[in-house]
Structure 1
Amino acid sequence: AYIARYLGIMLLEGEDLTVSGGRLMVRTVSGLMPIGVLWRRLDAAFADPLELRPDSQIGTPGLVEAIRRGTVSAVNALGSGLIETRALLSFLPRIARELQGDDLKLPSIATWWCGQEAERAHVLANIDRMVVGPALSTRLAFEDDGATRLGSSLSAGERAELVARIEADGAGFVGQEAVTLSTTPVFVGGVLEPRPASLRVYLARTPEGWTVMPGGFARVGFSLDPTAIAMQRGGQAADVWVVSDRPVERETLLPQEHEGFTRTMPGSLPSRAAENLTWLGRYIERSEDTVRVLRAYHVRLAETSDPDMPLLADIRDYLEPFGIEVETAIPQGLIGTLDSAVYSAGQIRDRFSPDGWLALKDLSKTIHKFADTVAPGDDATRAMTVMLRKLAGFSGLLHENMYRFTGWRFLEIGRRLERGIQTARTLSRLTRNGAPEGALDMMLEIGDSVMTHRRQYPVQAGRRTVIDLLALDPLNPRSILFQLERLKAEIGMLPSVGGEGHMSPAAKEILQLNTAIAVMEPSDMSAKVLDDLAGQIGDLYNSLARAYFG
């Protein structure tokens, strides 16, 4: 993400791209946009499931054909990894002399390809001093999940089996000199200890030829085992410093302050990012609603100690279809919703602040900790209050600090959709005819509107006043109408998908829905009307998805 921002290019994943008419396109909320140059970071084999690895779920179908047609240029071209093939290493010294008329500046690991008779015989005769592995592998020996074997570590049976395989299919194997990795000091448990390290250097092609870039990428193992250097096995990255005996001029592509500046507006938002932002908003709002309902439940459970009292039994039956089991103080359904929020945020970490990410991770850590320690009743009530404060803190960070670009609108739309849906569902349940005693007071508590109701209506809570406040009051930020007003405003600001001057289907739907609810009276809003309303708000998401996430 840092490099993409530094260079001013769009950071994309395979599913952000599509091929249409032989051209590579990026899916954005403004429609498909053509790409002329693609800087590939993805492993080549996974780049196109149509022509390369069919099991790849991270590539872009048709990418190879687009490159073949010449409609897109690929930096780090597909197939460039061929140069890292182990079998090729055995020919590098001769290649250097043929092409450059000189020996290698930096010797490579001594390698013998077993597809040649003399080299195969040498490997078999010296197998105890060799590392033997797949000839066509482009991975380092400590990264190929055990496919490479150290001859000196083999038992007699394993050695005989490997020799037989080499004799039967010599072209499939290489033997390499067993080398000891360099070590670097690592601070472990308060002391410095040696750990194996590898250094990858980079070269850049310039008009004057290839230039070795200063520094590099280092990996350090977590133990003395050389296989532990692989990142998949716990290895870690380390800074590489090139020390100079004199001041070094700082180089940057960024304009200096004295050169003036331009304010760069955010570019087109990829559809995948918009979808993840929408679901982040929905998951956070869904979590908050669930926490509010659970807190109201456990407050009453602590007071009565009777989980079978009508109101508590009704809430239990209401939550059960959503995977929320109130018998558990911290239901797995709530944990799963917050985990989903963390996942969605993880897909778009570069689009909100580090503080927001830390706050969300703290939420996840807290809920998992509570799951092991909190009991129903008073204990759960206090835990839910803590969760509400943390949820409010996260929402506040986003609201106050997030740049008001298109991505923020999708996040806000997700929150308003979910709050409208949840409020309509809960209102339908707790204001229906035959609702248990105390249901209206619980609804006001869940809607965080107890004090507002006391100020607005100098009467005891009744069905009409509760519905008026939580469904039809345009000034109450917890009401359904308030959510619809916000949705109308934010959807109206999204990029046009029906041509300039034409309303999108989602904009038409929210306008009709907002108008219909704005002219209703509390007596019009039966339980069925509220249930239907929740479904209609949910349908808005489907319209948005068809327009912007497809």
Structure 2
Amino acid sequence: MAADTSVATRRGKPAAEPGATRRLREWLRAYEPIPGVPDELFDARGRPRDHWLDFLGHFAAFPAGDPGARFALPARHLRDAGVAYRPAADEAERTWPIDPLPLILTQAEWDEISSGVAQRARLMEALLRDIYGPARMVAEGRLPAAALTGSGDFIRAVRGIAPPGGRHTHIYAADLGRGPDGRWWILGDRTQAPSGLGYALENRLAVSRAFPNLYNTMNVHRLAPFFDAHRRGLASAADRSDPRICLLTPGKFSETYDEQAHLARYLGFLLVEGDDLVARDGKVYVRTIAGLKRADVILRRVDSGFIDPLELNNASRLGTPGMLDAIRAGGVTVLNMPGSGVLESRALMGFLPRLCQELLGEDLAMPHVATWWCGQPAEQALVEIRLDDLAIAPAFNAPGGDSILSQSRMVADMTPAERDDLIQSLRDRPADFVGQEVVRLSTMPVLKDDRLSPAPFVLRVFAAATPDGIRVMPGGFCRTSDRPDVRAISMGEGARAADVWVIGEKPVERMTLMPSADSVQVRRIMGHLPSRAADNLFWLGRYMERAEGTLRVVRSLCTSSIAAEAAAHAAGETFESLQLLLTEWGALSAPAADVVHAAGRALLDPDAWGSVISTIRAEMRTAASMRERLSADFWALLVGIEGGLAKAGRLETEADVLRLTNRALQTMAALSGLAQENMNRVAGWRFLDIGRRIERGVNACRLSRLLARDEATTDDLDLLLDLNDSQITYRARYLAGLALTPVRDLVMLDPFNTRSLAFQLQTLKEHLSVLPPLNDDGMLEEPQRILLTLVADVETEDARKLTADKALRFERALMRFSNAVADRYFLQGASAVPTVKLVGLA
């Protein structure tokens, strides 16, 4: 090997084992770069680069067999944290795929990249100002109008609007690759709503936590300063000193929803959907449980055409009616501005060098793939002549006509029929196509089958507008592919992600997003919880309690079959009562012949809407809609319980059912503990707990009606105490044995029993007393009126006279209270009308 690969000499640290240098040489010897393609590990002379030797030498120094386990740590971190993505048209999320090896760039390389991307960001902003302003470039013939208007991302309604905050773009991203000449090339511009920032952050957290010593030793530039500047830049675009910044998401079915939730949580933004917002009087407000609260800045991840169904796509359910009017009035800053996606069109790439000279007075610093737009006769003729040498691609992200292309393709790879169709389409609608040079980009090392292999990659680099000018994030979002063709790498096509390390020549100053102690005023407030989030938290609590209740019924079914001293729950009238209960709860579609079948179906039947696995999946769907509000531990437990049920297989015996049920109950207990001990006692926690208390109170009423009838047996009362988790309390309080009246009192009326109806009502009363009112006349709101009446009825009830009819009346009152809570706090939808006057437009 031409270069020194001795681990002992790298960074001045001795090798941990004599075989370290040998292992490093074996890794490098087995690595086979693609002939004629630049590689990140080896330079043009075939020598390994020093920074890669530093990185790989660290792992070679560990004992044999240990490097493989250490390389697996980043993936384990992401899996445990529940980081996921959703491929297009795929219903299920997938665990985020990460390669443990980062893309490593030297400071000199990064300075070149950073300078080129910053210039590109300035050019994009200047071009948007002209396109939606004076349109001088079109008027002077430097940019054909059809190259703009042919794009579905050109929003005519934005023309003439002065962007609130002063900019069209706040965040810009460029997809880069290293070309055959060793220079970095721009493959595409991302100006609409660039994704990947959150995933870049997730990748960095996973890799840096997995290899903390190496991360610090190699002087990797931190990301926190960039995100701090990014946040300050958004805040400076508002017209208030303490603005409310929202991240507008398409919702949980977005391919990158997990990334959006993580980014909102990390930066402290409010994650909202279109229905969470309302445009009124030239401003945009967030619907919260305390009324409408002003949204000052909206960082959008919804495409331009969908943000306002009144003026743009009237079929959109992702936006907010009147959003464009609010932008015109300057009442809200939306970034990037609607219409900015027009610059992502390939049709514009051939014009950018000349436009850079005209708008910035500079030469374009970083080249891009040579592109010819066929909307011009000379360029169309050139593309037709070189048809077999070029890649043909759509000119616009949303091409007009019936284009046969959805992505870049080589004509040589087409069938004769496809080639004929393309040529005909090219002649019928030439403006829909571009021809591009085919560039074979460089490769980087990835871990494949426990060995290093070269893989093509695309690097996405981000630039943000800050109070101090354009700032480029030191690193980025890297995607690698198993295929040699890198023209269309996306996370839905088997690609993997990698962290990006920019290494400095001296130790890097550590920084967090924590502001100085004196710069932030101390607050102790409930917070402005969006109505949708309150709704989801409410139902998350109900699903949690519903799943736990069904699990307790299943456990009671099996207990007597394997415990000699237990009541005979699995036979006779009690067994019939339990099956009836499971049927009413939707856990069984029809009665089963024996305990194992009844219990197994109640646990695992995906077609029964009330089965445990269906309820857990409903809980996961609800939790997925507010991922930014839940801890990684909570999400991991939720995923774990669903996975355990889904993989349970066939349940043969009562012992199998009981084992699975107890594991699930233990996980549910852990979830409840996290909710009670780890969530702040603000509005979000209160709605989660309100949902749980309502469901628990309803269950107490239903169980009492079923099992505490006047003719109840000892088995019925024992089962009721078991399902109500009140066995220990009853045995400690009453030594005479089971009796109907004290059991009724403990389950329904005892305010000191945490599982009783009375306790749930008192807790609900305390929650309502803390939540903000919507009217200011001092009158009780509907939820309070219903609850206070119910509390009084329960407090004055005599257990000896507590009939099934009275229990049913309590249950129905509790359901009316649930509906009143929904009507009062969960106002959603563009046309939703509040039942009370909304106040507090702050």
Q: Report the TM-score when normalising by structure 2.
A: 0.61
Displacement, 1:383? Answer: 2.1
Q: Which residue does 2:724 correspond to in 1? A: 447
**1:452-467 equivalent positions in 2, closer than 5 A:** 452-467=729-744
**1:82-161 equivalent positions in 2, closer than 5 A:** 82-137=342-397, 146-161=406-421
Q: Which residue does 2:820 correspond to in 1? A: 543
Aligned to 1:226, the other structure's residue is in SS state coil
* One-letter identity of the residue aligned with 1:412: D
**1:83-482 equivalent positions in 2, closer than 5 A:** 83-137=343-397, 146-205=406-465, 210-226=470-486, 229-250=489-510, 254-256=514-516, 262-265=521-524, 267-300=527-560, 309-325=572-588, 327-328=597-598, 329=600, 330-332=603-605, 333-370=611-648, 372-433=649-710, 438-482=715-759
Aligned to 1:232, the other structure's residue is in SS state coil
Match of 1:46 among 306, 326, 333: 306
Provide the C-alpha distance between the structure 2 equivalents of 1:352 and 1:137, rounded to a whole number of angstroms.
Answer: 35
Matched, 1:74 2:331: no
Question: Are 1:222 and 1:228, in contact at CA under 8 Å, matched by a contact in 2?
Answer: no
Aligned to 2:501, the other structure's residue is in SS state coil
Match of 1:504 among 758, 767, 781: 781
Aligned to 2:272, the other structure's residue is in SS state coil
Aligned to 2:292, the other structure's residue is in SS state strand
Provide the C-alpha distance between the structure 2 equivalents of 1:418 and 1:207, rounded to a whole number of angstroms.
Answer: 50
Question: Are 1:166 and 1:173, in contact at CA under 8 Å, matched by a contact in 2?
Answer: yes
Provide the C-alpha distance between the structure 2 equivalents of 1:506 and 1:539, rounded to a whole number of angstroms.
Answer: 8
Provide the C-alpha distance between the structure 2 equivalents of 1:159 and 1:450, rounded to a whole number of angstroms.
Answer: 77
Provide the C-alpha distance between the structure 2 equivalents of 1:287 and 1:409, rounded to a whole number of angstroms.
Answer: 20
Provide the C-alpha distance between the structure 1 equivalents of 2:569 and 2:777, rounded to a whole number of angstroms.
Answer: 60
* One-letter identity of the residue aligned with 1:520: E
Q: Which residue does 2:230 correspond to in 1? A: none
Q: Which residue does 2:153 correspond to in 1? A: none
Q: 1:135 and 1:509, CA in 2 relative to 1: closer, same or farther beyond 3 A? A: same
Superposed CA deviations along residues 482-530 of structure 1, whole A, max 9, x for unmatched, are 1111111111111112226443221222111111101101233211221
Displacement, 1:280? Answer: 1.1
Q: Which residue does 2:810 correspond to in 1? A: 533
Superposed CA deviations along residues 127-148 of structure 1, whole A, max 9, x for unmatched, are 2222212211179xxxx99443
Question: Are 1:19 and 1:63, in contact at CA under 8 Å, matched by a contact in 2?
Answer: yes
Q: Which residue does 2:30 correspond to in 1? A: none
Displacement, 1:79? Answer: 0.8
Provide the C-alpha distance between the structure 2 equivalents of 1:205 and 1:444, rounded to a whole number of angstroms.
Answer: 62
Aligned to 1:65, the other structure's residue is in SS state helix
Displacement, 1:184? Answer: 1.8
Matched, 1:10 2:264: no
* One-letter identity of the residue aligned with 2:375: G
* One-letter identity of the residue aligned with 1:348: M
Superposed CA deviations along residues 184-233 of structure 1, whole A, max 9, x for unmatched, are 21122211122221112233346776454432222223554536730222
Q: 1:456 and 1:322, CA in 2 relative to 1: closer, same or farther beyond 3 A? A: same
Provide the C-alpha distance between the structure 2 equivalents of 1:391 and 1:81, rounded to a whole number of angstroms.
Answer: 45
Question: Are 2:458 and 2:486, in contact at CA under 8 Å, matched by a contact in 1?
Answer: no
Tell me which of the two structures has the higher relative contact order, counting C-alpha pairs closer than 8 angstroms and 6 or more residues apart.
2
Aligned to 2:287, the other structure's residue is in SS state strand
Provide the C-alpha distance between the structure 2 equivalents of 1:176 and 1:356, rounded to a whole number of angstroms.
Answer: 48
Aligned to 1:192, the other structure's residue is in SS state strand
* One-letter identity of the residue aligned with 1:495: P
Aligned to 1:375, the other structure's residue is in SS state coil
Q: 1:225 and 1:426, CA in 2 relative to 1: closer, same or farther beyond 3 A? A: farther
Displacement, 1:544? Answer: 1.1
Aligned to 1:25, the other structure's residue is in SS state strand
* One-letter identity of the residue aligned with 2:276: D
* One-letter identity of the residue aligned with 2:554: L
Superposed CA deviations along residues 296-335 of structure 1, whole A, max 9, x for unmatched, are 1122455799966222122212221322126351243210
Aligned to 1:293, the other structure's residue is in SS state helix
Unaligned runs of 5+ in 1: none
Structure 1 segments (4+ residues) deviating >6 Å:
303-308
Question: Are 2:356 and 2:364, in contact at CA under 8 Å, matched by a contact in 1?
Answer: yes
Q: 1:209 and 1:279, CA in 2 relative to 1: closer, same or farther beyond 3 A? A: closer
Displacement, 1:532? Answer: 2.4
* One-letter identity of the residue aligned with 1:27: R
Segment drifting more, 41-50 vs 533-542: 41-50
Aligned to 2:704, the other structure's residue is in SS state helix
Question: Are 1:311 and 1:436, in contact at CA under 8 Å, matched by a contact in 2?
Answer: no
Aligned to 2:492, the other structure's residue is in SS state helix
Question: Are 1:201 and 1:213, in contact at CA under 8 Å, matched by a contact in 2?
Answer: yes
Q: Which residue does 1:56 correspond to in 2? A: 316
State the Cα RMSD in Å: 2.7
What is the aligned-residue identity percentage?
39
Superposed CA deviations along residues 434-481 of structure 1, whole A, max 9, x for unmatched, are 557722211111111223222222333232222111001111111111
Unaligned runs of 5+ in 2: 1-260, 606-610, 828-842
Displacement, 1:106? Answer: 0.8
Displacement, 1:376? Answer: 5.0
Q: 1:128 and 1:441, CA in 2 relative to 1: closer, same or farther beyond 3 A? A: same
Displacement, 1:260? Answer: 7.5
Provide the C-alpha distance between the structure 2 equivalents of 1:110 and 1:458, rounded to a whole number of angstroms.
Answer: 89
Segment drifting more, 346-355 vs 71-80: 346-355
Aligned to 1:187, the other structure's residue is in SS state strand
* One-letter identity of the residue aligned with 2:717: L
Provide the C-alpha distance between the structure 1 equivalents of 2:655 and 2:264, rounded to a whole number of angstroms.
Answer: 49
Displacement, 1:49? Answer: 3.2
Displacement, 1:153? Answer: 0.7
**1:517-532 equivalent positions in 2, closer than 5 A:** 517-532=794-809
Question: Are 2:284 and 2:295, in contact at CA under 8 Å, matched by a contact in 1?
Answer: yes
Segment drifting more, 52-61 vs 275-284: 52-61
Q: 1:352 and 1:253, CA in 2 relative to 1: closer, same or farther beyond 3 A? A: closer
Provide the C-alpha distance between the structure 1 equivalents of 2:484 and 2:316, rounded to a whole number of angstroms.
Answer: 34
Q: 1:539 and 1:233, CA in 2 relative to 1: closer, same or farther beyond 3 A? A: farther
Q: Which residue does 1:489 correspond to in 2? A: 766
Report the number of matched residues.
544
Displacement, 1:539? Answer: 1.6
Q: Report the TM-score when normalising by structure 1.
A: 0.91
